[in-house]
């Protein structure tokens, strides 16, 4: 029984018992002020008394009490039945709502499992073939490998997952690999050419070069470099 129903029954019981206990009701009117009061005893002095309800015998009072108790019991039973019916209706409504929700969930399309699809398996096999066929890293092979990986992402994650992966990939900083700079190869200095043979007009060095014997300039000689002397190289 709810608190509201219990409170209502207590109020009805108090009113009924109070009414049954009143054996006589008098209406008292003050002659000076005209104020009207009601009492089940005697009116105060200086007031006009008029009987509203006649005094009842003990048998009549007992009969009224019994009738009031029966009426109260019927009222209580009716309220209890109404409360039980209302609770039963609420339970049935909740069960119907749960059944409808279960039917709607069963009828709703289930999300596709892209990772178990045939397209995903095919893309994975293609990626394995491309990766196993790489002999060395070059631009063309890197492009093929990246394309195969993107196809796997699309087929195994679905359009929404692929879009998220592409967004994350775009936000990653690009890494540029700069080839190392090797130091220049050291080359030993070549020794200066030396004249090995001289004729009347020209001289030849050990590297096969030919020089005129007449004219200004420097000419390599046996002892290093010799200058021209009066237009003729003293070799």
| Higher-confidence position of 218 and 71 | 71
pLDDT at residue 2, rounded to an integer: 46
pTM: 0.32
Partners of 39 in the β-ladder: 26
CA gap 166, 154 in Å, rounded: 10
pLDDT at 24 over 60: yes
pLDDT at residue 13, rounded to an integer: 46
In sequence order, what are the residues at sequence separation of 6 or more whose Cβ sits closer than 8 angstroms to the Cβ of residue 141? 134, 135
pLDDT tens-digit profile of 69-123? 999 999 999 999 999 999 999 999 999 999 988 888 888 777 788 888 899 999 9
Write the DSSP symbol of residue 175. -
From residue 146, give the alpha-carbon distance in Å to each of 56, 112, 127, 133, 178: 107, 25, 9, 14, 20
Mean pLDDT, rounded, for 136-144: 76
In sequence order, what are the residues at sequence separation of 6 or more whose Cβ sits closer than 8 angstroms to the Cβ of residue 39? 25, 26, 28
pLDDT tens-digit profile of 193-212? 777 777 777 777 777 777 77
Q: What is the side-by-side order of every strand in the sheet holding 195-198? A: 195-198, 202-205, 210-212
Give me the DSSP letters along 14-72: HHHHHHHH-S-EEEEEETTT--EEEESS-PPTTEEEEEEE----HHHHHHHHHHHHHHH
CA gap 9, 82 in Å, rounded: 14
pLDDT at residue 87, rounded to an integer: 94
In sequence order, what are the residues at sequence separation of 6 or more whose Cβ sits closer than 8 angstroms to the Cβ of residue 88? none
CA gap 127, 148 in Å, rounded: 5
């Amino acid at each position: 029984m709810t608190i509201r129903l219990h409170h209502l029954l207590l109020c009805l019981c108090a009113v009924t018992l109070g009414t049954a206990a009143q054996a006589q009701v008098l209406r008292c009117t003050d002659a000076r002020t005209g104020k009207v009061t009601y009492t089940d005893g005697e009116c105060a002095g200086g007031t006009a008394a008029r009987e509203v309800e006649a005094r009842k015998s003990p048998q009549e009072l007992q009969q009224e009490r019994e009738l009031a108790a029966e009426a109260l019991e019927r009222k209580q039973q009716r309220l209890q039945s109404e409360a039980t019916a209302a609770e039963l209706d609420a339970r049935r409504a909740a069960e119907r709502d749960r059944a409808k929700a279960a039917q709607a969930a069963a009828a709703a399309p289930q999300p596709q499992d892209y990772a178990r699809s045939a397209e995903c398996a095919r893309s994975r096999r293609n990626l394995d073939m491309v990766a196993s066929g790489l002999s060395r890293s070059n631009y063309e092979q890197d492009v093929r490998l990246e394309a195969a990986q993107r196809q796997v992402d699309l087929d195994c994650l679905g359009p929404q997952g692929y879009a998220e992966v592409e967004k994350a990939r775009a936000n990653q900083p690009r890494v540029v690999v700069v080839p190392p700079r090797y130091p220049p190869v050291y080359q030993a200095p070549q020794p200066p050419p030396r004249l090995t043979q001289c004729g009347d007009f020209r001289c030849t060095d050990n590297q096969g070069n030919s020089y005129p014997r007449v004219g200004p300039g420097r000419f390599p000689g046996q002892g290093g470099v010799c200058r021209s002397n009066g237009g003729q190289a003293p070799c």
